[in-house]
Structure 1
Amino acid sequence: MIPNKELLKNGLFFGIAMWLSSRLIIVIAMLLIAPSLPTPTNGIAATFSWNVFSAWDSIWYQIIATFGYGYTNEYGQSAVAFFPLFPLLIHLIMRLGLPYEVAGVLLNNLAFLAALIVLYFWVEEKYGTNAARWATATLAWCPYSVYGTVIYTEGLFLLFTTAALRAFDKQQYLSVALWGALSTATRSPGMALIPAFLFVSWKERRGIKAYLASLAVGLGVSIYSLYCQLKFGDALAFIHAQKGWRSSAGFDWQGWWYNLMLVVIGPVNPQSGQIREPLHPLLFTICIISGFLLWRFRHKLTSIKLICSFSLLNLILWLLGGDPYIKILLVFGGIYFLWISRKKIPLAAVIYGFCSFLLILNIGNTLSVERYAYGIVSLSVGFGLLLARYPRWGYAIIGFFAILIATFAIRFSQDLWLA
């Protein structure tokens, strides 16, 4: 028997505890709270069933896992836009006799649990137990970790990218090739690992094995491209199919400006072109000024008062700005945070993070960008180091996350757009 104190120090136990506690909040919100709420105007009534875990992209994975791939080279949406590993694994689990919803939820949740454990041990090896705990807690409790429970690829992608980054850090190049290739077979952003690994291989003069392992990361997408060529006569079908979701690539200036206006002057005003609700921009201005004054005179306040004050301001800003506030905070705040953390976390994780953000900012719109940013594990590593130094701030952040994770879970179960 492991003594209680030793059990609490056990990384495997901590990862499971963070996974179980955060998933419990999600399951209660989706299966117990959501079905008791009125049916939303633009959504559906949540039910006590496995169906609440399947919405939006989940439908495409069900089509692929059940019927295989289809493709039209016109501008309509096609299943070929979704990478194959996740639906393939679901299909294999379904052959055991499990329905699609059960197979998808089981796969994503187990993969997400494994990702938390891999992250914990990686960070613990480099920075110690406290940093590992906070990094794991951040990844588990971030509100977009809802996508580590529903039928999406987040759990699998986080597992493979984290394992690949850890293996590269430990110079285990066969593992780098394996986990990296699996990541690019799961989602296209896994390709961001390649320039990160190549750059670090060059900068640290790691040798030919490191270069070969870095290039081998692309095997996942290469094999899928070969499949598309053989089946549809178009090796880049998965890229061309993106036209069904976005008309062009590049930085969406208009979309980001619109999101900023939603936060600053409110949801009605940008549509009318003028300020019709002066209370919203007034409250926003008061929050910004209050935040500046709190920071300016922070040394005159106790840490508890300072944390509570900033937490209240953050809650008010979220109530004012809603999803656009979280979107801007996670993407642009994430870029800034990665920059100031660049000398503290592994170089490969830093470059991977910046390459991932570069992809996110150039997809042609602002849909789902916050979810993609959550999938950058480098941010969780950085937050682990930061919150290990300031744990009281960490408790406040996790508390705010707990509120968001419950509301996000309810929204997903009601088929309301989340990210």
Structure 2
Amino acid sequence: MAYERAAPPSPAAAVPGALDRLGAALRAAAPALLAYAAVRATGLLVMSVWMAFAEESPRRFLNRRWDSLWYARIAEDGYGYTRFSAGRWHPDEAFFPLFPVLERAVTAVVPVSANGAGLLVGWTAALAAAWGIFAVATLLYRRMVGVVLVALWAAVPPAFVQSMAYTETLFTALAAWALFAVLTGRWWWAGALAVAAGLTRPSGVAVVAAVLVGGAVELLLRRSGAPRRRVLAAMAIAPLGWLGYVGYVSWRRSSPTGYFDVQAEWGNGFDGGVAFLRFVTGMLGTNPAHGLLILAALAALAALLVQCVRQRQPLPLLAYTAVLAVTALVGAGYFTSRPRLLMPAFALLLPLAVWLAGKPRAATAGAVAAAAVSSGVYGTWFLLYEGPP
């Protein structure tokens, strides 16, 4: 699927024309962006009220705990910090560089600390992600589906992370716009955004997979008529961000498996899901209610994946979702982080968004509002009592 290409504008009209198109696209996306802001504001309001009673500071949880501290430290001092905790060494090389680079850039022009810059980057990226998700859904279906999808993504249980100085919103923004570029035949953009996504999170391989699958489909079917060399170039450069950082860590460590050694030092790695299976079975024995909840979540994930296939979502979108789901579930540690790692897989919510968009507006709004409040309650409870997301 791709847009039809009009004749190129004259150089004198190119910039004003581009600005006009950007303004029109922003106006079209405004309902989705407002819905996103309203849902996340609801979650933050719930968090603020609850934490006020608990005599806690929401800001401390949003940008001064867990991963956000690691990113701020890298932004301020670069790589090279290692901490020993819980019987393991934790080197900062586990964290990909784009988010702290952006934090450092913000501190160079705005009088805020690296922690404050993390929130600015994360919240700005959240709006860009919402816009990109809306663009993909509108391309495939219609505007109302795009608005509902954005609202649902803002209200998923781990959505509280979208308000933190974490990389999820930046990664989702890059992934959504890369997918939009693939689906519309903008191959240079697709390749460049895949490079950026690969510099943001280990799961950048999912965006690379989308570009490679989309490029292969384009080369086989010639749907958009894009020049073959442009498609091949996008496919060639897409993995360079991820490979570049993994190669950098290997160079620092003087080992071809340097990055994976770093993950092992954190107690993480890829074991095909064996450790996760042991975690679930162990939970069923020690805390049956929690174990059954995990099984229900896995069943829902499987059902949504099946619905995405039955919905005939484009192959690049399916490839992105499938790779993201696999990388989120086959790791050997940090099991409470799995919902957060799955959150960028926004296409999983498309079947539900299509269904809700066909309901009366009042019913749709009520469902979204209930999800927003529930997300805020869950997120606050998790931060206060469960630990790092």
Same fold by TM-score, threshold 0.5 exceeded? yes
Please report the TM-score for the alignment, with normalisation by the length of structure 2: 0.79
Deviations 1:338-388 (A, max 9, x none): 222224322210111112222222212433111111111221334322322
Indicate how the Cα distance of structure 1 residues 229 and 239 shifts in structure 2: closer, same or farther if over 3 A, else same. closer
Structure 1 counterpart of 2:70, one-letter code? W
Asked if residue 386 in structure 1 is aligned to residue 368 in structure 2, the reply is no
Specify whether residues 329 and 193 from structure 1 end up closer, same or farther in structure 2 by C-alpha distance, changes over 3 A only.
farther
Displacement of 1:125 after TM fit?
2.6
Instruction: Indicate whether 1:105 and 2:119 are aligned.
Output: yes
Q: Does 1:148 align with 2:162?
A: yes
Is 1:59 the equivalent of 2:69?
yes
Structure 1 residue 15 and structure 2 residue 36: aligned? no
User: How far 1:245 moved relative to its partner?
Assistant: 2.9
User: In structure 1, what is the Cα distance between the partners aligned to 2:254 and 2:61?
Assistant: 35
CA distance in 1, matches of 2:99, 2:173: 12
Alignment correspondent of 2:259: 238
- Counterpart contact for 2:35–2:150, Cα < 8 Å: yes
Residue 319 of structure 2 is matched in structure 1 by 351
Post-superposition CA distance 1:120-148 (Å, at most 9, x none)? 12221321122112111111121222111
8 A contact 2:274–2:332 mirrored in 1: no
Bigger CA drift: 159-168 or 252-261?
252-261
Change over 3 Å in CA distance of 1:148–1:247 after alignment to 2: closer
Equivalents in 2 of 1:362, 1:201: separation in Å? 27
CA distance in 2, matches of 1:63, 1:71: 8
Distance 1:396 1:417, change over 3 A: farther
What is the TM-score of this pair, normalised by structure 1? 0.74
Residue 343 of structure 2 is matched in structure 1 by: 374
Partner of 2:305: 338
Structure 2 equivalent of residue 25 of structure 1? 42
Alignment of 1:276-287 (within 5 A): none
Change (3 A) 1:102 1:413: farther
In structure 2, the residue matched to 1:187 is 201
Q: Is 1:165 the counterpart of 2:148 in the alignment?
A: no
Taking the aligned partners of 2:150 and 2:388, their CA distance within structure 1 comes to 23
* Paired residue secondary structure (1:249): coil
User: What is the number of equivalent residue pairs in this alignment?
Assistant: 351
Q: Residues 55 and 412 of structure 1 are in contact (CA less than 8 Å); yes or no, is this contact kept in structure 2? A: no
Segments of structure 1 that go 5 or more residues without pairing to the other structure are 1-6, 38-44, 273-280, 282-319
Which AA in structure 1 matches 2:230?
A: K
Deviates more, 1:47-56 or 1:368-377: 47-56
CA pair 363-257 structure 1, distance change in 2 beyond 3 A: closer
CA contact (8 A) 1:146 1:409 kept: yes
Query: What is aligned with 2:12?
Result: none
CA distance in 1, matches of 2:387, 2:296: 19
Corresponding residue of 1:297: none
Q: Deviations over 1:133-177 (max 9, x none)?
A: 211111112122211111110110000000000000001001001
Please state if 1:405 is matched with 2:375.
yes
Alignment check: 8 A CA contact 1:184 1:190 kept: yes
Structure 2 residue corresponding to 1:84, chosen from 86, 89, 97 = 97
Deviates more, 1:348-357 or 1:394-403: 394-403
State the identity as a percent. Answer: 20
CA deviation map 1:2-24 (0-9, x unaligned): xxxxx9x9533212212221221
Q: CA RMSD in A?
A: 3.1
Give the C-alpha shift of residue 94 in structure 1. 1.8
Q: 1:65 Cα deviation (Å)?
A: 1.3
Given candidates 233, 236, 249, the residue that maps to 1:228 is: 249
Residues in 2 aligned to 1:350 and 1:221: alpha-carbon distance in whole angstroms? 20
